[in-house]
Amino acid sequence: MTRERRRASHGDEPGPGATGPASDGAGRHVDPDALAEDAVAVVARWLTEAHSSETPTERRSTDRMRAIIADPGGIGFTMRFVDRVARHRQDVLAAEQLVRLVTDRDLPGFLGRMDRLMLQAGARLAPALPRLVMPLARRRLRQLVGHMVVDAAPGPMHDHLARRRTDGYDMNVNLLGEAVLGEGEASRRFERTLELIRDPAVDYVSVKVSAIASQLNMWAFDHTLERIKDRLRALYRAAAATPTEAGRTTFVNLDMEEHRDLEVTLRAFMELLDEPDLKGLEAGIVLQAYLPDAFGALQRITAWAGARSSTGGGDVKVRLVKGANLGMERVDAAMHGWVQAPYGTKAEVDANYKRCVDWALRPIHARSVRIGLASHNLFGRGTRRGRQGGVRDAPGHGAVPGPRGPGRGWGPAPLHADSGTR
């Protein structure tokens, strides 16, 4: 896939009675049963085309992925191996973690007999011969999960990006990691993100405000907002000033983390992109459909983006995701004795996601905001294809490589490379 095409420029706001789920974006009636049948047909065609063009290498990768996902301990083992063993640059420390990983619990079933024997033998030999064993262990891991693990060093990262672009994908790159605690770590992550933006080989970078600014305090909202804007302003200006290999500006996407960060992220995003020197910059933001606030936030962004566009402002993209921080939100709610911010059921999350997509794809709204669909639900995507009435340009699609959530990267600055469209 190449860069997402420009937003549509036709269509009128549907009138009363044409805004419900039984109408499309142009006010025409939509039969839900026919829409479902069309979605099934679209997905069947996608799967047929995918299987027909699948190479033997891709088929083996798919089989490995299926085995990891099907095994109850597969995902946890893979992530522990990557995080605790493979990312250590010191072989002695990595050897200690390998011993713990192999001896703490049973090895998962997706590993073949030979891999189990190699791991068990490696765990015995690693403490005495770490410089011999650990490179072999990392090499074998790359063979098993190399399709979802990216080396964060510039050379391997550039090679990976080039291969994916050759395959027809744009890549959204971000540094993995949760909210930082200290200003020293925040400064390091800010500088590393700035390096990514200035790298001509990288044309799409995602960043969380909680990763580049420490100690976010919502009781001091205005002060916190200004601190965040100072950091983001530098990133946006670097993006505007540094052309990529494709000759366009680097696209900066504001990711989301905790519910508490939603309002400050929205404010920083809209206020910065209204500044005169950033008025023409194209940029994006993520909304999480598991938050009831997502629909209202989408409406705010769309109204603001429409006003910005009408005065010559650049394109705005909203990337819709389901949400990836439910566990943290639940723990936070339990510790404070309040109701969790996200919806309580998957059905509610799915309904809110469809509500946001349905509203965003209406022609009058698509004039202002380009939509990115981040979902692995093919039937949901097929349904949205049918709901595009009047929107000539298809929404962008994104998928995260890996068994669930972000892929892991090698080294002290792991990367997440997200395939999709800009």
Q: What would the two tokens of residue 277 be?
A: 């020197």
Nearest to 297 by CA among 313, 321, 281, 280: 321
> Where in the chain is CATH 3.20.20.220?
149-420
Nearest to 361 by CA among 320, 391, 398, 322: 391
- H-run or E-run covering 316: strand 316-321
Q: What is the pLDDT of residue 28?
A: 58
CATH T-level fold of 149-420? TIM Barrel (3.20.20)
DSSP per-residue letters across 231-278? HHHHHHHHHHH-B-TTSSBPEEEEE--SGGGHHHHHHHHHHHHTSGGG
| Whether 126 contacts 118, CB under 8 Å | no
Our CA dihedral for 83, 399, 289, 152, rounded to 10 degrees, sits at 30
Nearest to 264 by CA among 227, 306, 310: 227
| Whether 259 contacts 294, CB under 8 Å | no
Q: What is the pLDDT of residue 151?
A: 67
Q: What would the two tokens of residue 404 be?
A: 């669930």
Q: What is the pLDDT of residue 205?
A: 92
d(CA 232, CA 193): 11
Q: What is the pLDDT of residue 272?
A: 96
DSSP per-residue letters across 290-307? TSTTHHHHHHHHHHHHHH
Query: Please, what is the Cα angle at 307 between 304 and 313, to 5 degrees?
Result: 100
Q: Can you tell me which residue has the tokens 């089989």?
A: 63
Q: Could you give the count of Cα atoms lying within 13 Å of 178 in the half-sphere of its Cβ?
A: 5
d(CA 180, CA 184): 9
Q: Which pLDDT tens digits describe the chain residue by residue (422 residues)?
A: 323 333 333 333 333 333 444 555 455 566 777 777 887 888 888 888 888 887 887 787 778 778 888 888 888 888 888 778 877 778 898 889 889 988 887 788 888 888 888 888 988 998 999 898 888 888 877 776 666 667 667 888 888 888 888 887 778 888 766 666 788 888 988 999 999 999 998 889 999 998 888 888 889 999 999 999 999 999 999 999 988 887 888 999 999 888 989 999 999 999 999 999 999 999 999 999 999 999 999 999 999 999 999 999 999 999 999 987 788 888 888 999 999 999 999 899 989 998 998 889 888 888 889 988 887 777 766 555 545 454 445 455 555 554 333 333 333 334 444 444 55
Q: What is the pLDDT of residue 254?
A: 93
What letter represents residue 241's amino acid? A
Q: Model pTM?
A: 0.75
